[in-house]
Amino acid sequence: MSAEDPTNSRWRLDIAYDGGGFSGWARQPGQRTVQGELEDWTTQVLRLPTPARLVCAGRTDTGVHARGQVAHVDLPADAVRDDGTALLRRLGRVLPDDVVVLSVRAAPAGFDARFGAVWRRYVYRLVDQGTPLDPLLRHQVVRVPVTLDLDLMDEAAPVLLGLRDFGAFCRRREGATSIRTLLELSAHRISAGPYAGVLELTVRADAFCHSMVRSLVGALVSVSSGRSDLAWLARVTDAAARTSDVPVMPAKGLTLEEVGYPPDDQLLARGRESRTVRELTPATPGRS
């Protein structure tokens, strides 16, 4: 089944989930995964002849949450007979309450949730020493037993920005590239409302290699707590090979918030370009 098959139509799903109860996005035998739940229920409510297969923008790890996951699925043309509203409603009735399909829409021509994405934005949430962890947020905010200096964090972030080999921050995979463009890395403390006191670290890149967001946050925590300095950060970054020096932060603080796509009329070109690059260097875009 492929999008090029004229008997199929492609749908875009926007998805949110609490990662706490899942062994990540990717389907694995014997594990409860987001992809598994969504595919199984989509197949069932639509009574598909063959199982639905979802392709997502960011294959989140075990325990990582999402508010803005995007996926596509190719379905027989007669499987969905309206604008997606009925499928959205039916999934809403059967899915467990830790995963929610936010919308189902006909995908524009050339849309590919994975290869069409131009950036992924993650937010890591934590509190440092002196700020109690709100028990209502304990499943999505991490408490670190050190005091963080936001000025030091602001100094460290630019060291990491731009196009570079993030090998030092990636779990190595055979044949996978770790060259990425880090577009944004910024920290701010929330001043009011239910998240008051929480430190939000925004990490946005064209794509991520495995454990990259949590390693980048770990490096910033290391520098801003005074455990390491900027010279260490520059040295580690240049090394371009994973070292045990960079702490990988716990998964529960991480949420995939948003995925960026080009305007509809540029989707076809973007998909071709991205697919070519990835096939030359078989990376796993969007891993976190």
Residues that bind a second copy (CB under 8 A): 16-18, 65, 67, 92, 97-102, 132-136, 138-140, 190, 193-195, 255
**Contacts with 73 (C-beta within 8 Å, 6 or more apart), sequence order:** 10, 11, 13, 42, 52, 53, 54, 55
**Contact call for residues 15 and 70 (beta carbons, < 8 A):** yes
Q: Which is nearer to a second copy, 42 or 177 (CB)?
A: 42
Exposed/middle/buried for residue 247 (C-beta within 10 Å: 0-12, 13-18, 19+):
middle
Q: Which is nearer to a second copy, 138 or 227 (CB)?
A: 138
Closest CA to 71 of 1, 16, 24: 16
Closest CA to 215 of 206, 198, 203, 230: 203
Distance in Å, CB of 226 to a second copy, minimum: 21
Element of type H or E holding 156: helix 150-160
Distance in Å, CB of 115 to a second copy, minimum: 26
Distance in Å, CB of 16 to a second copy, minimum: 6
Residue of 61, 74, 112, 128 marked catalytic: 61
Q: Which is nearer to a second copy, 88 or 183 (CB)?
A: 88
The angle subtended at Cα 27 by Cα 21 and Cα 32, nearest 5°, is: 25
Rounded Cα distance between 58 and 190, Å, is 26
- Coil, strand, or helix at residue 144? coil
Give the strand pairing for 65-76 and 119-127. unpaired
**Contacts with 4 (C-beta within 8 Å, 6 or more apart), sequence order:** none
Q: Which is nearer to a second copy, 47 or 93 (CB)?
A: 93
Q: Which is nearer to a second copy, 96 or 226 (CB)?
A: 96
Q: Is 61 a catalytic residue?
A: yes
Q: Which is nearer to a second copy, 17 or 166 (CB)?
A: 17
Element of type H or E holding 277: helix 267-280
Distance in Å, CB of 193 to a second copy, minimum: 7
Please, what is the end-to-end C-alpha distance for the chain in angstroms?
A: 28
Distance in Å, CB of 243 to a second copy, minimum: 32
Rounded Cα distance between 185 and 154, Å, is 9
Distance in Å, CB of 2 to a second copy, minimum: 30
Active-site residue set: 61
